[in-house]
Amino acid sequence: MRLSQLIEKLEEEKEIEYVKGNKDIEVTEVVNDSRKVTPDSLFLCISGAVSDGHSYAKDVVSKGAKVLVVEKEVEEFEGVTIVKVKNSRYAMALIAAAYYNHPAEELKVIGITGTKGKTTTTYMVKSILENAGHKVGLIGTIEIIIGEEHIPAKNTTPESMDIQKYFRKMVEAGCDIVVMEVSSQGLMLHRTAGFVFEIGIFTNLEPDHIGPNEHASFEEYMECKGMLFSQCKVGIANVDSEHFEGVMKHATCKLETFGFSKQANLRAEKVELLKTPGYLGVKYHTSGMVEMDVEIDIPGKFSVYNSLTAIAICLHFGVSKEDIQKALKQAKVKGRIEMVKVSDKFTLMIDYAHNAMSLESLLTTLKEYKPKRLVCLFGCGGNRSKLRRYEMGEISGKLADLTIITSDNPRDEEPQAIIEDIKTGMAKTSGKYVEIVDRKEAIRYAIQHGEEGDVIVLAGKGHEDYQEIKGKKYPMDERVFIQEILEEIG
């Protein structure tokens, strides 16, 4: 592909400061990783948190790169075209879209942003739309799904080069819709630039991802979430969120709302919690945009919000009420309040809650079901904030009847040292706890000591199937542990 075709959109948007060299040069490949440079490729110099692509200019030219896209001045090389842009991340997104021949124009892309609910909602939407006969690609925290192919995810929202590559593969696999999680980081770093979302979704907003290498403040975090709504045709937003107005401040799209509020275009009413041994769910009625009864096998008020979001999206694709009801009843997400049947006496589930906010939300939801005891098993990751450990210990101590403190991903720290930090938070409460460093033994204890009417939650690992110790990942899947324990105890 000629360089002039790759930078056409950047020129239209006046994002280019200058081009030194031949604009009609043929480019064989577009890369942003110096290790992947091949002869006649275009190399994007990205200023990252860890390394700066501009410092690799000489190295990539020696490997045969014929075009450098830069946002800082670099040395000039004979036979190499230099394109200086205002923002190389933004340029990367537009060049990637051109390089893969604008695949988003052949798809309806649905983007979901918010602090919580993104993952569950993407799977619900995928389930409903596929029930209605669409072929749906998915990009999210757990994985990328393209037809039968499942690719483990590195980031909630991949780099723009990867997004465009996945979109092209989805078109080739026959997908007509993509549903994707859109993180505030992804928006801030222009990973989703270069295409228009058919629908943008706002689930909710709470303080998170604020700190070094993330967002400088809550205001910046909120501002970044709001960027989605100047990049989509239709916005569907949770009107009950106290930050609804702040996120929608600069929205340029047509706007619809959902929630419990009378102002919502799609409302949930008559919510009823469902509970039998080994099972928790919820049912409710919708009014406004559509009148229907909904039942889902995932507990809690946030499940009502997630399913309302999914319904609001699917109404835009003409999905029948029957298809929506059937798909929501079947919707399951690995590691998100995932029920695992182990006994007729008590309920056991796996959930990804791995910070104070998500753990508090989860335990508060489960307490509404009035279990005989609420048992919470969790650990905390190594090489991470000690504050998170204190907070999670305190929350579990306050809300759970019994806490089983164990190991998570200790990374480079000693598991017992992490447990001691969690106990510091526990000490602020009168909560009962036991400590069992080995996670499998902790799960065995939870199962063997489960009482009639208990709700037991294994928190923190969720969909993860490994444990990270001293820089190495070891296989560790809680579902496998549970199966082995049940066989061992007969």
Tokens of 353: 């809650």
Distances (CA, A) of 191 to 10, 155, 182, 185: 15, 11, 9, 8
Tokens 């047509």 correspond to 254
In the chain, what are the domain boundaries? 3-99, 103-330, 338-489
Q: Contact 101/204 with Cβ under 8 angstroms?
A: no
Give the C-alpha distances (Å, rounded to integers) separating 366 from 360, 362, 373, 431, 453: 10, 6, 10, 17, 12
User: At 221, is the pLDDT very low, low, confident or very high (cuts 50, 70, 90)?
Assistant: confident
Q: Is the pLDDT of residue 211 over 90?
A: no
pLDDT of res. 206: 76
In the 8-state DSSP scheme, what is residue 35?
A: G
Please list the alpha-helical segments (H only) found in 118-183: 118-131, 160-172
Average pLDDT over residues 458-481: 95
123-146 mean pLDDT: 95
Phi (first) and psi of residue 489, to 5 degrees: -95, 0
For residues 51 and 480, the model is more confident at: 480
So what's the pLDDT on residue 222?
Answer: 85
Answer whether residue 212 shows pLDDT above 60. no
What's the mean pLDDT when you consider all of the chain?
94
CA 40/CA 29 separation, integer angstroms:
7
Residues 6+ apart with CB under 8 A from 107: 137, 167, 170, 171, 175, 176, 177, 178
475 CA to centre of own chain: 22
Report, as an integer, the average pLDDT of 171-181: 98
Task: With a cut of 90, say whether residue 160 has pLDDT above it.
Answer: yes
> Is 338-489 in the same CATH topology as 3-99?
no
373 pLDDT more than 60: yes
Provide mean pLDDT across the span 186-192: 93
Q: Between 3.40.50.720, 3.30.200.20, 3.40.1190.10, 3.30.70.580, what CATH number should domain 103-330 receive?
A: 3.40.1190.10
* Residues 126, 179 contacting (CB under 8 angstroms): yes
pLDDT at 119: 92
Average pLDDT over residues 218-223: 80
Helical ranges in 132-242 per DSSP H? 160-172, 184-188, 218-226
What average pLDDT does this structure show over 269-278? 93
Smallest CA-to-CA distance from 431 within 387, 383, 398, 389 is with 398
List own/partner pairs for 36-43 with CB under 8 A and 24 or more apart.
37/63, 37/64, 37/65, 38/63, 38/64, 39/63, 39/64, 39/66, 40/64, 40/66, 41/65, 41/66, 41/67, 42/3, 42/6, 42/66, 42/67, 42/68, 42/69, 42/95, 43/67, 43/68, 43/69
Q: What is the pLDDT of residue 40?
A: 97
Range from 26-40, 198-212, 250-264 carrying the lowest mean pLDDT: 198-212
Q: Which CATH number fits domain 338-489: 1.10.274.10, 3.50.50.60, 3.90.190.20, 3.40.1790.10?
A: 3.90.190.20
User: Counting beta carbons within 10 angstroms of the beta carbon of residue 273, is it exposed (0 to 12), middle (13 to 18) or buried (19 or more)?
Assistant: middle
Mean pLDDT of 46-60: 92
Q: What percent of the chain has pLDDT over 70?
A: 98
Share above pLDDT 90 across residues of the chain, in percent, rounded to a whole number: 88
pLDDT at 219: 79
- pLDDT on residue 454: 97
Report pLDDT for 213: 58
Residue-level pLDDT at 216: 61
Q: Taking the model in full, what pTM does it have?
A: 0.91
Q: Kindly write down the DSSP assignment for every residue of 326-366, as one continuous string.
A: HHHHH---TTSSEE----SSSEEEEE---SHHHHHHHHHHH
Write out pLDDT tens, residues 282-308.
999 999 999 999 999 999 988 999 999
Q: Check residue 245 and give its pLDDT.
A: 93
Structure tokens of 163? Answer: 């997004």
Fold of 3-99: 3.40.1390
